[in-house]
Amino acid sequence: MIKQLFSQCDTLLESLRHDHYSRRVKSHYYAYKTEYDFSRLFEISREDRAVGAVAVFNSSMIVACVEGESFDSETLSELAGFIGMIAPAVVELPVEFAPGLRPLLEEEYSTDHRTQFEFVSKNELPDLDVNELPKLDDVFEVLSRSFPSLAQSYELWITDTSHRVRRGLSQSFLLGDYTTATIQYIVDKVALIGHVATVPERRGEFHARRLLYWIGERLTRDGFTVRLFARPHRVSYYEEIGFKAISHDIVFERKDVDDD
């Protein structure tokens, strides 16, 4: 059974596995609780016990599993029906459940592979002039020039990012006025890097590499584990910076969503 939660969520969140999916679920809950329609939390239960959680945030869905539990074929079938009803653009869940879910969603969803990387510190923080408290408008300027499709989403991006930054769940960094990276979540002493961008005219000058290495060393020094996701063909690029590949997963993407 999948039911929406409006209160008494902490016990479920504390029971989840210590992985990326549970941290994503927690980050949405810590940011917005259950007070908004765009951020909803659901419990997956079987035989009167919780086996997982689902966070629906805007057009994305994250599925996490309770420690020591798994999803059987009946649960996966129910989850597939739930995904069909919600119709999120993207679904993330532990890779072990992807093979069972894929045939149930193949008409509406395609799959893509990702690699998760973790930063390996050399304890050498370079002397780099990084703005750790940039104006978010300046960050968005770099992002919008790097990803034109984002330019139409200013209100959504600035509202959500500033909200998370104020709650200590996110942080943006700016190198000059040309390269940026944002921590998508800071949960359970793990920081996930995302939204890395360099404006077109400054690409090829290694600014993103330098910034990512600096962030890795800076946050490691502060006691955080630093991770990011990328496509498998980028393994050598991130290894050269100081990251190592630690896992792989599969993301479901709705076929009728335009990526441009």
Residue 61 clears pLDDT 70, i.e. is over it: yes
Distance CA 29, CA 49 (A): 21
- Write out pLDDT tens, residues 223-236: 999 999 998 888 89
User: Is the pLDDT higher at 218 or at 235?
Assistant: 218
Could you tell me the CA-to-CA distances from 246 to 15, 161, 230, 235 in Å, in that order? Answer: 23, 27, 12, 10
> For a pLDDT cut of 70, what percent of the chain falls above it?
99
Calculate Rg over the CA atoms of the chain.
Answer: 19
- Write out pLDDT tens, residues 173-194: 999 999 999 999 999 999 999 9
List strands edge to edge, sheet with 2-5.
Answer: 2-5, 39-46, 49-57, 60-65, 90-92, 243-254, 109-119, 225-230, 190-198, 179-187, 171-175, 130-131
Q: Which residues contact 241 (CB under 8 A, 6 or more apart)?
A: 209, 212, 213, 216
Domains of the chain, with CATH numbers? 2-107 (3.40.630), 118-254 (3.40.630.30)
User: Is the pLDDT higher at 115 or at 259?
Assistant: 115
34 burial level (CB within 10 Å; 0-12, 13-18, 19+) = middle
Angle at 177 between CA 205 and CA 229, to 5 degrees: 65
Residue 260 clears pLDDT 60, i.e. is over it: no
Residue 13 clears pLDDT 50, i.e. is over it: yes
DSSP state, residue 66: B
Could you tell me the CA-to-CA distances from 60 to 40, 87, 252 in Å, in that order? Answer: 11, 9, 10
The enclosing H or E element of 223 equals none
Distance CA 227, CA 229 (A): 7
The residue assigned the tokens 């039911």 is 3
Residue 37, phi then psi, degrees to nearest 5: -65, -30
Closest CA to 89 of 106, 110, 116: 110
- Write out pLDDT tens, residues 92-128: 999 999 999 999 999 999 999 999 999 999 999 999 9
